[in-house]
Amino acid sequence: MNIKRFFAVFKARNIEFFRDKSSLGWNLFFPVLLLVGFSFIFSGDGRPAYKVGWVEESKSSQSKAQHNSFKDTRFISFIHYKDIDVAKVKLSHHTIDLVIANQSKRYWVNDESAKSYLVEKIFSEKLKSYTRLQIRGGEIRYIDWVLPGILGMNMMFSCLFGVGYVIVRYRKNAVLKRLKATPLTAFEFVSAQLLSRLFIVMFTSIIVYSGCNLLFDFFMLGRYFDLFIIGMLGAFCLISLGLLVASRSKSEELIGGLLNVTSWPMMMLSGVWFSLEGAPPALKVFADFLPLTHLVAGAREVIIEGATLVDISYHVNCLLLMSAVFLSLGAYFFSWNAER
């Protein structure tokens, strides 16, 4: 690794990005427009159904029967939690509307939530034998909830297209071929591209977050440092994925299709717009293999629940593992030109 060569490519790529006004503008204004739009569209609750947290303390047949008796009520979804504290945090943020701990015959309502009040009324007969407990907590606005998703999605597009598309364009018009004819190594080139995009993505995301924070005064329970780290790990993982997707292709049409195939499932299934709680288990398993899921979930836990990096170590480890896999495969398959 020659630092001088690496830094020259890093700098050149940054200059190219910042002088491309249309691309820079898009990266800065697109997420702002989305946030403004969603702040108007979802100024209310934004969730169509009532959600009840069901804390399963035992798996007895009696417990199952009781659960079924609750489940008979239509238009209410039941979300299973193993940890009662997690469910209570969700209730305090109005993410769910009631928590029922079946074994200990207790239930919690949020006194500040209209939905919680209504669900309690709906189940008043069935909850007669349960002890009523209260939780207080203001509602997390939809915009606070959706913020990590929109920032994550913007990062995803910037990482995938900003790296994948650019490398394929370089390969197609023989910029890579010209660089191959110099002493620059593939590792130096790829790592410069990776770190340049990481710098660009973090820079634009911080600008967007700070600017929007002035407008919306975002909720923030955790530490900004933790948010920065999970953001950086997510961006690194998505850039690695972009490098892998672009490792061999020479066709801009093909790479456009591949990047869309890669990004659309993440946009729809990574919890950008709506919570995956209550989604079918198979879908949750699939979403677990998507880097954006861990970026968004980790950032959301830091922002809304005040989680630390240790608390979100599952997401951190998943992102690190995925980055290692994507980078290894990308390096193995990388080709300067069509011939390998």
Partner 1 sequence: MSVAICVQNLTKQYKDVTAVDNISFTVEQGHCFGLLGPNGAGKTTTIEIMEGIISQTAGQVIYKGKEFQGKKVDGNISQLIGIQFQHTALQDFLTVKETLILFSSFYRHTLAQEQVIELCDLSDFLNRDNRLLSGGQRQRLLLALALINDPDIIFLDEPTTGLDPHARRNFWQLIKNIKAQNKTIILTTHYMDEAEQLCDDIVIMNQGKIIESGIPHQLLNKYFSDVFIYLPAEQVPSILVEKNQWQKLAGRIEITTRDVEKTLTLLMNSKVSLSGLYVKSANLDDLFLHLTGHSLIGSK
**Strand order across the beta sheet in which 98-101 lies:** 76-81, 50-55, 98-101, 106-110, 131-135
The DSSP code for 110 is E
Q: How far apart are the first and last CA of the chain?
A: 22
Q: Does 5 bind partner 1 (CB under 8 A)?
A: yes
Interface with partner 1 in residues 168-197 (CB under 8 A)? 170, 173-175, 177-178, 180-184
The per-residue b/e assignment along 6-29, b for 16 or more CB within 10 angstroms, e otherwise, is beebbeebbeebeeeeebeeebbe
Q: How far is the CB of 13 from partner 1 (least distance, A)?
A: 8
**What is the per-residue DSSP string for 46-99?**
---SEEEEEE-----HHHHHHHHHHHTSTTEEEEEES-HHHHHHHHHTTSSSEE
User: Is-contact 156 263, C-beta < 8 A?
Assistant: yes
Q: Which lies closer to partner 1 via its Cβ, residue 190 or residue 304?
A: 190
Instruction: Indicate left, alpha or beta for 7 from its phi (over 0: left) and psi (-120 to 50: alpha).
Output: alpha
Q: How far is the CB of 181 from partner 1 (least distance, A)?
A: 5
Q: Which lies closer to partner 1 via its Cβ, residue 251 or residue 337?
A: 337
Q: Does 20 bind partner 1 (CB under 8 A)?
A: yes
Q: Does 7 bind partner 1 (CB under 8 A)?
A: yes
User: Is-contact 52 76, C-beta < 8 A?
Assistant: yes
Question: Cα–Cα distance between 225 and 99 in angstroms, integer?
Answer: 32
- In the shown chain, the binding pattern of residues 207 to 246 toward partner 1, with x for contact by CB under 8 A and - for none, equals ----------------------------------------
Q: Residue 221 burial (CB < 10 Å; 0-12/13-18/19+)?
A: middle
Interface with partner 1 in residues 82-141 (CB under 8 A)? none
Q: How far is the CB of 14 from partner 1 (least distance, A)?
A: 10
Q: How far is the CB of 320 from partner 1 (least distance, A)?
A: 32
Q: How far is the CB of 8 from partner 1 (least distance, A)?
A: 4
Nearest to 245 by CA among 329, 175, 304: 329
**For partner 1, which stretch binds (CB under 8 A), given 33-41, 166-174, 193-201, 252-260?**
166-174
Q: Does 9 bind partner 1 (CB under 8 A)?
A: yes
* Residue 32 structure tokens: 């702002």
Q: How far is the CB of 321 from partner 1 (least distance, A)?
A: 33
User: Is-contact 300 153, C-beta < 8 A?
Assistant: no
Q: How far is the CB of 176 from partner 1 (least distance, A)?
A: 10
Q: Which lies closer to partner 1 via its Cβ, residue 67 or residue 180?
A: 180
Q: Does 12 bind partner 1 (CB under 8 A)?
A: yes
Q: Which lies closer to partner 1 via its Cβ, residue 15 or residue 118?
A: 15
Say which residues have a Cβ less than 8 Å from residue 40's Cβ, sequence separation at least 6: none
**For partner 1, which stretch binds (CB under 8 A), given 15-23, 36-44, 243-251, 275-283?**
15-23
Q: How far is the CB of 258 from partner 1 (least distance, A)?
A: 22
Size of the site for partner 1 (CB under 8 A): 24
| Interface ranges with partner 1 (CB under 8 A) | 4-5, 7-9, 11-12, 15-16, 19-20, 170, 173-175, 177-178, 180-184, 337, 339
